[in-house]
Amino acid sequence: MIAAVSLFYGASHAERHAPEMGSDTVKPATVAVSETMKDAFDITAHVRKNPWAAVGISALLGGIVGCLTASP
């Protein structure tokens, strides 16, 4: 127990402030991931870039839903 206390009090400035320094590197990474996820799930942007693919996917989904809901 005494060894742990002496290690804590004898720790250098960098060791005591490691969580604060880590948050400086984590924040930019979090922002980068957040921006990437926003871009990945921006459906409007994907439709603007690939309008014919969007039309084809819509037609395919409409056909599948029509087949599944059609009465025999």
- For residue 66, being part of any structural domain is answered with yes
Q: Which amino acid is at 63?
A: G
**Which residues are CB-contacts of 45 (< 8 A; sequence separation ≥ 6)?**
39
In a domain, 42, yes or no: no
Q: Answer yes or no: is 53 within a domain.
A: yes
Given this model, what pLDDT does residue 51 score?
A: 96
Domain extent, residue 68, equals: 47-72
Please report whether residue 7 resides in a domain: no
The pLDDT tens digits along the chain (72 residues) read 555 545 555 555 555 555 565 667 778 888 888 888 888 889 999 999 999 999 999 999 999 999 999 987
On whether the pTM is more than 0.85, the answer is no
Residue 22 domain-assigned? no
Helix (H, G, I), strand (E, B) or coil at 71: coil
Residue 20 domain flag: no
**DSSP alpha helices (H): ranges in 1-72?**
2-9, 13-16, 18-40, 43-49, 51-69
Task: Tell me how many domains the chain contains.
Answer: 1
57 occurs within a structural domain: yes
